[in-house]
A and B are shown apart, each in its own frame.
Chain A
Amino acid sequence: NAGVTQTPKFQVLKTGQSMTLQCAQDMNHEYMSWYRQDPGMGLRLIHYSVGAGITDQGEVPNGYNVSRSTTEDFPLRLLSAAPSQTSVYFCASRPGQANEQFFGPGTRLTVL
């Protein structure tokens, strides 16, 4: 049981480049979420999903897209990276609405 996995662990992009942060879980959890962590700002919710084919926006969705074609995978896409998107990104999953979340190890993204 690998839990929640994220790739890559580190990434450097130039402004305007696009990329996809990968997130996968092998616990058959319905709920998955993406957060970004910035100094002094805590964890802010970007997008979340309550099941395959269903996604919704969180607190800071601008500049990010998501899709959920399978229960296991929840990729986060940056279409045109900006320096303001430099952050640590965490993916999380949980079985249901009332449960605690399990977090991946994070991806540290730098946009130059």
Chain B
Amino acid sequence: AQKVTQAQTEISVVEKEDVTLDCVYETRDTTYYLFWYKQPPSGELVFLIRRNSFDEQNEISGRYSWNFQKSTSSFNFTITASQVVDSAVYFCALNRDDKIIFGKGTRLHILP
């Protein structure tokens, strides 16, 4: 069965600190896609990144970076020099066939 685990329910850090959100997934497929979404306090769901199972290169976008490791079935998300605007719930998701399954999310508080 496919599964996405975000073990960190809630994290609080002080502004400008770096923070890593963990995502561990389970799948028997060799071809799959992983995603991260952000849900700010306003409630909308914002797409951040998609990664396919054949591309293990790390990706950086500004202060955001993602580390994909097939050997440990992990797709972790790091925010460098966090800002108050990064406060949100972050979801990791896994695509298999026609479905996209989400983890339970990590609520991130950035304290000023």
Q: Which residues of A contact B (CB under 8 A)?
A: 31, 33, 35, 40-45, 48, 50, 56, 58-59, 88, 90, 92, 97-103, 105-106
C-alpha spacing A90/B47, complex, angstroms: 14
For this complex, into which size category does the number of interface residues on chain B fall? 20 to 34
Contact A100 B98 (CB under 8 A): no
C-alpha spacing A88/B44, complex, angstroms: 11
Q: How far is the CB of A75 from chain B (nearest CB, A)?
A: 19
Which residue of chain B has the shortest Cβ distance to A59 in the bound complex? Answer: B101
Question: Which of A50, A97, A103 interacts with B95 by CB under 8 Å?
Answer: A97
User: A interface, by DSSP: helix, strand, loop or mixed?
Assistant: strand
C-alpha spacing A59/B4, complex, angstroms: 13
Given known pairs A40-B9, A97-B97, A98-B52, the reply for A106 and B102 (CB within 8 Å) is no
Question: Which of B9, B35, B102 interacts with A100 by CB under 8 Å?
Answer: B35
Q: Does B28 contact A (CB under 8 A)?
A: no
- Beyond A45-B102, A97-B95, 14 extra complex contacts between A and B, CB < 8 Å: A33-B99, A33-B100, A41-B104, A42-B6, A42-B102, A43-B105, A48-B98, A88-B43, A98-B95, A99-B50, A101-B47, A101-B100, A102-B47, A105-B44
Q: Which residues of A contact B105 (CB under 8 A)?
A: 42-43
Compute the total of residue contacts between A and B using a CB distance below 8 Å: 53
Which residue of chain B has the shortest Cβ distance to A35 in the bound complex? Answer: B102
Q: Does B91 contact A (CB under 8 A)?
A: yes
Q: How far is the CB of A94 from chain B (nearest CB, A)?
A: 8
Which residue of chain A has the shortest Cβ distance to B100 in the bound complex? Answer: A101
Q: How far is the CB of B49 from chain A (nearest CB, A)?
A: 8
Question: Which of B35, B97, B98, B104 interacts with A42 by CB under 8 Å?
Answer: B104
Q: How far is the CB of A47 from chain B (nearest CB, A)?
A: 10
